[in-house]
Amino acid sequence: MKFEQQFELVSKDNPTFGQIALIPWDIETFGFGVADYKFDYSQNLTSHNRVISEKIELWAKQNNIELIGTTAEANDYSKIAFIQSLGFMYIDTTILVNYPNVQQSQYPKSNLVITPAIAEQLDEIVQISGDVFETGRYHSDYSFPKKLADKRYQDWVKRAFHKENQQELFVLQKDNQICAFLVIEIKEKEGRLHLNAVSCDFQGKGIGLESIASMLFYFKNKGVEKATTKISVSNTRALNLHSKLGAQFENPQILFHWHAPWAKHLVKEETN
């Protein structure tokens, strides 16, 4: 099934209040409503923050939504303050990782074998994806159940394998053992890395660097001129890895979540 977001106006009477949409792929995974909110900020909105907040909450009630996300550029301080005035709270900061000259760049040699995933490998890849991720919008939300945040990545992998979208699932092997996987997408001359994970058994052995280098070689052979991915700035291991491979870092964004007062699933899990 191909999922698409369908944005609608928060207020039909005032389009400047922004647009909002369900996130169908996450709803399928979580079993409850989540959504995205977007708007073009202007100082004129500040006097309407209470009305906009009420409109967002009303829409959330009508659509059984428990969580809504929105973003702002990291240096847009007025928009950040306005978002917080609507009842959204800070969750994470992301940054765009850009390899602008894939064809002209030289990357370190990788000894990993990169191939499209096959059915016999899927269970192992899904297991890896449920074990290794620690960052991302839902993992960074202290109220969000970790099991569901993990399941989101597992379902993401399955959808990529079954080609429910334009993304593809690849495995990287060393000595015939799966050591990492990639979820990537190629559109015309641009490659996009959506997910990258190294198996727990192979961490600390340079596999992360080799897996990205393998991907860049694959992109290069496919005629890709530019490659990008987005990561959390808290993921310093990934930042250092991409830096070693010559990436540029651009467009830091702040991610916020709004939690519905009636949300039944957003309870911080107890840890032992």
- Residue spans of the domains in the chain: they are 8-93+254-259, 99-250
Selection from 190, 209, 210, 200 nearest residue 114 by Cα:
210
> Facing residues of 113 across strands?
173
Q: Could you report the per-residue pLDDT of 125-144, keeping only the tens digit for each?
A: 999 999 999 999 999 999 99
Could you tell me the two tokens for 193? 């890395």
User: Is residue 34 within 8 Å of residue 79, measured between CB atoms?
Assistant: no
User: Is residue 93 within 8 Å of residue 137, measured between CB atoms?
Assistant: no
DSSP 60: H
What's residue 272's pLDDT? Answer: 42
Q: How far apart are CA 214 and CA 112, in angstroms?
A: 7
User: Is residue 160 within 8 Å of residue 183, measured between CB atoms?
Assistant: yes
Selection from 213, 206, 207 nearest residue 227 by Cα:
213
What's residue 164's pLDDT? Answer: 83
Query: Dmax of the chain from CA atoms?
Result: 63
Residue spans of beta strands (DSSP E) within 100-247: 113-116, 168-174, 177-187, 190-198, 226-232
Q: Which residues of the chain have pLDDT under 50?
A: 269, 271-272
Which residues are within 8 A (CB) of 119 and not within 5 positions of it... i.e. 6 or more apart?
Answer: none
CATH code linked to domain 8-93+254-259: 3.40.630
Could you tell me the two tokens for 11? 């207020």
In the CATH scheme, what architecture does the domain 99-250 have? 3-Layer(aba) Sandwich (3.40)
What's residue 267's pLDDT? Answer: 78
> Is 0.85 topped by the overall pTM?
yes
C-alpha distance across the termini of the chain, in Å? 39
Q: Establish whether domains 8-93+254-259 and 99-250 are of one fold.
A: yes
